[in-house]
Amino acid sequence: MTSNGIIKLKKINPAIKVKGFATKQSIRLSEKTIAKTQAANNFLTDFSDVILFLLRVVKETFSRDFEFKEFFRQCFHIGYKSLPLISVTGAIIGLVLTIQSRPALVNFGAVTMLPGMVAVSLIREMGPVITALICAGKIGSGMGAELGSMKVTEQIEAMEVSSTNPMRFLVVTRVLAATIMIPILILYADALGILGSWVGANIKGDVSFVLFFSQAFHHIDFMDFLPAVIKSFFFGAVIGLVGCYKGYNAGRGTESVGIAANSAVVLASLLVIILDVIAVQITDMLM
């Protein structure tokens, strides 16, 4: 590594007679400085790439010749084809939440609060975040892998030479479809979660469907829905953007398809959590 350090320093400034004066410590320090500078440079390059990608998506979204057919195809793909997974997970979240909460509420004699408590926690937090994380896994990774494999097999370039703007056709349609469909999936998961909760409440108790739902909605007001719906749009946009960015900028080898899919899930999930924290703080301040 020491000789590498000398080579690097000589590349930066060939006039430096490194061997003549440099001690081992100064060479190590130089090596570390170069490594840190390169890491910082890579980070800034990646960050600027993301910003440029985002700006291009925004610009192409409002340009002419919007790809409506592909947009509706993506809406179907993201929305309809995710229904089975979202249905099962949504119902299970409500069911498990009820089964876990019930004993504690029974101890306090507050079992009548169960429908309201479950509904509020589902609509405000559990539904949006868990559904978004599931979508990050299913939709984000799907976009990363699909666009990544299209990049590897030159399909994106083929699109470009066919006078088609791949950014508009592939990225804008997917990002918009995710931004619109994920909030709908979240609301659907909320509804099924409350249904699952009713099933959970009936495992050890006996409460009618109408009574359970009237109790649940009695405790929910508009301000429970609004912040959750707003943050759901951001979750959808982030999942779409990250999935497309990772896929669109995948490397050339087949290995990069896996990397794109994997990193799309990791980054999208992380950003969903971070966005949720920010959304909760903002909602808390405003209310």
Partner 1 sequence: MNTEHTKTPDKASSLKTSIEPVIEIINLKKSFASQEVLVNVSLKLFNGENLVVLGKSGSGKSVLIKCIVGLLQSDGGTINIFDKNVTELNRDELGKLREKIGFLFQSGALYDSMTVKQNLDFPLRRIKKNLSEEERGEKINEVLETVGLADALNKMPSQLSGGMRKRISLARTIVVDPMIMLYDEPTTGLDPVTSDEISLLINEVQKKYKTSSIIITHDIECARNTADRVIMLQDGEVYQEGNLELFEKSDDELIKSFFK
Least separation, in Å, of the C-beta of 267 and partner 1? 24
Per-residue binding string, partner 1, 122-161, x by CB under 8 A, is ------------------------x--xx--xxx-xxxxx
Binding residues among 75-104 for partner 1 as defined by CB under 8 A: none
Return the exposure string of 216-237: e unless at least 16 CB atoms fall within 10 Å of the residue's CB, then b.
beeebeeebeebbeebbebbbb
Least separation, in Å, of the C-beta of 243 and partner 1? 16
**120, 111, 119: which is closest to 204 by C-alpha?**
111
Binding of residue 74 to partner 1 (CB under 8 A) = no
Binding of residue 164 to partner 1 (CB under 8 A) = yes
Q: Residues binding partner 1: what is the number (CB under 8 A)?
A: 15
**Binds partner 1 (CB under 8 A): choice among 23, 163, 277, 284:** 163
- Whether the CB-CB separation of 218 and 116 falls below 8 Å is answered with yes
Cα 219 from Cα 196, distance rounded (Å): 18
- Whether the CB-CB separation of 256 and 250 falls below 8 Å is answered with yes
Binding of residue 61 to partner 1 (CB under 8 A) = no
Cα 187 from Cα 225, distance rounded (Å): 9
Least separation, in Å, of the C-beta of 156 and partner 1? 9
Binding residues among 165-224 for partner 1 as defined by CB under 8 A: 165
Binding of residue 12 to partner 1 (CB under 8 A) = no
For 254, phi then psi, to 5°, come to -65, -30
Least separation, in Å, of the C-beta of 134 and partner 1? 23
Amino acid of residue 216: A
129 vs 145, beta carbon nearer partner 1 = 145
155 vs 262, beta carbon nearer partner 1 = 155
Binding of residue 37 to partner 1 (CB under 8 A) = no
DSSP 90-157: HHHHHHHHHHHHHHHHHHTT-GGGHHHHHHHHIIIIIHHHHHHHHHIIIIIHHHHHHHHHHHHTTHHH
Site residues, partner 1 (CB under 8 A)? 146, 149-150, 153-155, 157-165
